[in-house]
């Protein structure tokens, strides 16, 4: 991959020199060819692109900050320390909802070597006009007060990561190699390892039995939980999952399918194939098999098949679109 950053956004140029000059004039960001005071530095310390100096570390409230028309110049000043990436977005922009979380994720992965500034173009028309954003999302960076157009539109995470790596390389080549410290950087590390969920005391015996592979006991324990708390949705789903494992225990894929092929009139054998399909992730196949059996079955068979379908709906999750679709087909067969 080339290390040069694009000079223009492929779908339209963005000239931000006027922003860089205004920010530099009012906030002291050294312009090309100048020496001055970089944020956190001392007079005479190199701060302009292309000038080498000791890397700086600056404390900031967050690695991801909202920027407004009024606060832009303050944020631009930080581009003398690290590259500042501006994400221009809007609430109504669907591609923005895909891209913005990716940019935030990649920013946090880079350990303070990039700062992300988010611009709501509806709330900040001055910046939207200054950035000459012909469409959104538009992503532009600043290094040492100088603009570096990146891209427009939603791009895959890997491409965002590659853009940022190239941006850091370009910044280092131009003497911008500092870091920013932010409280949320440490918070994200802690959030990456969530605490183990606490198992309700009433569920412990059933969980322990299932972990031992004693599904018969686990089923009895879950049924006992539901007798005391019929509205316990977690226990209801766990019971359905445990019954599925119970039915498949001791059987192999080959013998389940062979038995069903040899005994086409054996309802249990046919429904066990549906169990197998669902356990292997073939959810639509599982539901379709049971619905076909239901359509062709007599009253007793239909009761058993309906009960099995309802159990498998709990295993998958009642809000899953595939469950909703299958439930609708079952209702049409019932009525």
What residues contact 105, with CB distance under 8 A and at least 6 apart?
A: 157
Confidence of residue 54 (pLDDT cuts 50, 70, 90): low
Predicted pLDDT of residue 182: 85
Concerning whether 93 is annotated as a catalytic residue, the answer is yes
Supply the angle between the helices 215-228 and 204-212 in degrees, to the nearest 10: 170
Is the predicted pLDDT of residue 181 greater than 60, yes or no? yes
Predicted pLDDT of residue 4: 40
Interval 12-43: pLDDT, tens: 333 444 454 444 444 443 333 333 323 333 33
Concerning whether 119 is annotated as a catalytic residue, the answer is no
Supply the angle between the helices 157-173 and 94-109 in degrees, to the nearest 10: 50
Interval 91-131: pLDDT, tens: 888 888 889 999 999 999 898 999 999 999 889 888 888 88
Q: Determine contact, residues 100/87, Cβ cutoff 8 Å.
A: yes
Interval 128-164: pLDDT, tens: 888 877 788 899 999 988 888 888 888 888 889 889 9
Parallel/antiparallel/unpaired status of strands 57-59 and 179-181: parallel
Predicted pLDDT of residue 58: 85
Rounded Cα distance between 162 and 175, Å, is 20
Predicted pLDDT of residue 6: 37
Rounded Cα distance between 317 and 310, Å, is 10
Rounded Cα distance between 55 and 47, Å, is 10
| Residue bearing the bigger pLDDT, 3 or 185 | 185
Predicted pLDDT of residue 196: 53
Interval 223-265: pLDDT, tens: 999 999 998 888 998 999 899 999 998 888 899 999 999 999 9
| Residue bearing the bigger pLDDT, 199 or 82 | 82
Confidence of residue 302 (pLDDT cuts 50, 70, 90): very high
Domain map of the chain by residue range? 17-190, 201-334
Is the predicted pLDDT of residue 318 greater than 90, yes or no? no
Predicted pLDDT of residue 154: 82
Predicted pLDDT of residue 203: 93
Rounded Cα distance between 71 and 249, Å, is 64
Interval 195-214: pLDDT, tens: 556 788 999 999 899 888 89
Share of the chain above pLDDT 70, in %: 79
Q: Which of 14, 20, 81, 96 is catalytic?
A: 96
Predicted pLDDT of residue 226: 93
CATH number 3.40.30.10 given to 17-190: yes
| Residue bearing the bigger pLDDT, 111 or 47 | 111
pTM for the full model? 0.46
| Residue bearing the bigger pLDDT, 191 or 299 | 299
Predicted pLDDT of residue 268: 93
Q: Which of 16, 29, 93, 127 is catalytic?
A: 93
Q: Determine contact, residues 119/177, Cβ cutoff 8 Å.
A: no
Average pLDDT, the chain: 80
For 112-144, give one letter per residue: b (16+ CB within 10 A) or e: bbbbbbbbbbeebeebbebbebeebbbbbbbbb
Confidence of residue 317 (pLDDT cuts 50, 70, 90): confident
| Residue bearing the bigger pLDDT, 271 or 280 | 271
């Amino acid at each position: 991959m080339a290390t040069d950053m694009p000079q223009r956004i492929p779908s339209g140029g963005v000239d931000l020199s006027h922003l860089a000059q205004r920010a530099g004039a009012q906030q002291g960001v050294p312009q090309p060819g100048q020496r001055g005071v970089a944020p956190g530095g001392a007079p005479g310390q190199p701060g302009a692109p292309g000038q080498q100096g000791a890397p700086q570390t600056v404390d900031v409230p967050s690695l991801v900050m909202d920027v407004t028309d009024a606060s832009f110049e303050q944020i631009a000043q930080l581009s003398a320390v690290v590259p500042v990436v501006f994400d221009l977005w809007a609430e109504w922009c669907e591609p923005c909802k895909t891209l913005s979380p990716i940019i935030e994720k990649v920013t946090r992965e880079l350990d303070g070597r990039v700062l992300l500034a988010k611009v709501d173009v509806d709330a900040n028309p001055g910046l939207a006009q200054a950035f000459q954003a012909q469409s959104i999302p538009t992503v532009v960076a600043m290094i040492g007060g100088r603009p570096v157009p990146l891209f427009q539109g939603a791009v895959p995470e890997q491409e965002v990561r590659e853009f940022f790596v190239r941006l850091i390389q370009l910044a280092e080549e131009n003497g911008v190699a500092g870091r920013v410290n932010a409280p949320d950087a440490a918070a994200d590390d802690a959030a990456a390892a969530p605490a183990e969920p606490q198992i309700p005391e009433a569920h412990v015996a059933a969980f322990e039995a299932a972990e031992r592979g004693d599904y018969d006991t686990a089923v009895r324990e879950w049924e006992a939980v539901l007798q005391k708390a019929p509205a316990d949705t977690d226990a209801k789903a766990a019971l359905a999952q445990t019954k599925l494992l119970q039915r498949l225990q001791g059987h192999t894929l080959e013998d389940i399918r062979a038995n069903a092929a040899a005994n086409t009139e054996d309802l249990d054998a046919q429904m066990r194939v549906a169990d197998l399909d669902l356990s292997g992730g073939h959810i639509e196949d599982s539901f379709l098999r049971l619905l076909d059996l239901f359509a062709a079955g007599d009253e007793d068979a239909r009761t058993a098949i309906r009960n099995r379908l309802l159990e498998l709906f709990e295993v998958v999750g009642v809000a899953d679109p595939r469950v909703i679709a299958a439930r609708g087909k079952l209702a049409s067969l019932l009525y």
